[in-house]
Structure 1
Amino acid sequence: MGVRTYSPSRPLTVDIGRRALPDWHELFAAFCGHIGDDPDAHPVTRCARRLAELHAARQDAEAAAILDRARRTVIASIDEWVARCAPHAAECGESLGQAVDRMAVAHLKAIAALTRESDETRVHAEWHELGLLATEWSDLVEEAVNGQPPLPGSIDRQFPRNALERESGEPQ
């Protein structure tokens, strides 16, 4: 039996005791491999973890095609779950599965920048991008769960996604 209640201290739930959608903190934990492998894990965090694993494994062109097919399957799984369980999912203007996939890529780039990049501006740009995607995820969750569309201009997808794009005019 589902319960649909919301308050800032008690997030909307679909199944008793389970949040409708994970917040960005939970997605980050899944990308790092800290959650999402338990059979009782939220379906979206399980998929988020899998997307991060698929992106991390995407080393050579031969494997890329196979991994991209697997990614599309995982993205579709997220979208199907959201469509069934989030009351306003049909009103969202964007695929939540694709949003998780973009976050997985940005998370891997941000972590890699910390370990490999000596240019502080580039490190900052990667983490800034990840922060923007976390905010975008929060807006999408609000829209899918509560029917609250993002405020105009909260994250304008028409503008450059990070500081390096603003400087060069080219996508990074």
Structure 2
Amino acid sequence: MTRNERNEQALRGASKNAEKAFNAVDAIEYASVPEDEKVAWAMAAMIHCDMCRLVIAFDECERDGLASLLWMADIVSKLHEAKRWYFEKGGRLLGGIGKRMGCGQEYIQREIKEIKKRHQITNIDAYAEYRNKISYHYDDNAISLLKKFGNEDAEAFYQVLKAFAGFSGEWAQLTRSLLKNELPNNRVEQP
């Protein structure tokens, strides 16, 4: 199976899961599910789908020229927004659900740290100066930043993107396991 075929297969699976989670937010059959659980599932699935979509977008933008750089700049902005959601909103959301479900906030935070360590998503910080300065919002220095971005190693950037896709997939799996109550229950019974 080629890289493109693997990426397409991953996107199909992620898209199917994201659609199910997105639809579940307002579905009658999930009315009894707490709102934070539906939001956690939908966001984890949606961001993972978006990361898979960006991997394919990167493959499609592997051509010379300015359009390719602008496409990659869009990807940088998406990665930063995803990282922000995971570590500002998503972690608190999963921790709260974990506490309520009995596996504990500490357990969830340890799992998130392990996922982060496996996928090294902090490498996106190397591209922080390009975020929202050459796409979405155009900085006064957009031209010079775009030239500098054009000198970045495209393969290294692709590896950062793949790491994010792996991270988001594991985050989605952690969310699923938490919501299905498949994680260890660390609840201490009171006498």
Could you tell me the TM-score, scaled by structure 2's length?
A: 0.36
TM-score by length of 1: 0.39
Q: RCO (CA 8 Å, sep 6+): is it higher in 1 or 2?
A: 2
State which structure, 1 or 2, has the greater radius of gyration over its C-alpha atoms.
Answer: 2
Q: Which structure dedicates a bigger proportion of its chain to helix?
A: 2
